[in-house]
């Protein structure tokens, strides 16, 4: 699943993948 998110959120960088789900949604919004 990390790989799939990495392709979709590659511009955010790896550190962002470690953020909580709520934080991810805030970043996407």
Work out the mean pLDDT of the chain and round it to a whole number.
61
**What pLDDT score does 20 carry?**
66
In the chain, how many domains are there? Answer: 1
Per-residue pLDDT tens listing for the chain (29 residues): 555 655 565 555 666 556 666 666 666 65
Contact 12, 27 (CB under 8 A): yes
**What pLDDT score does 15 carry?**
62
Residue in 27, 21, 26 with CA at minimum distance from that of residue 1: 21
**What pLDDT score does 12 carry?**
58
**What pLDDT score does 6 carry?**
54
Q: Domain of residue 1: give its range.
A: 1-29
1-29 as b/e: b if 16+ CB within 10 A: eeeeeeeeeeeeeeeeeeeeeeebeeeee
């Amino acid at each position: 699943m990390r790989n799939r998110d990495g392709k979709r959120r590659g511009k955010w960088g790896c550190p962002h993948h470690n953020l909580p789900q709520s934080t991810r949604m805030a970043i996407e919004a």
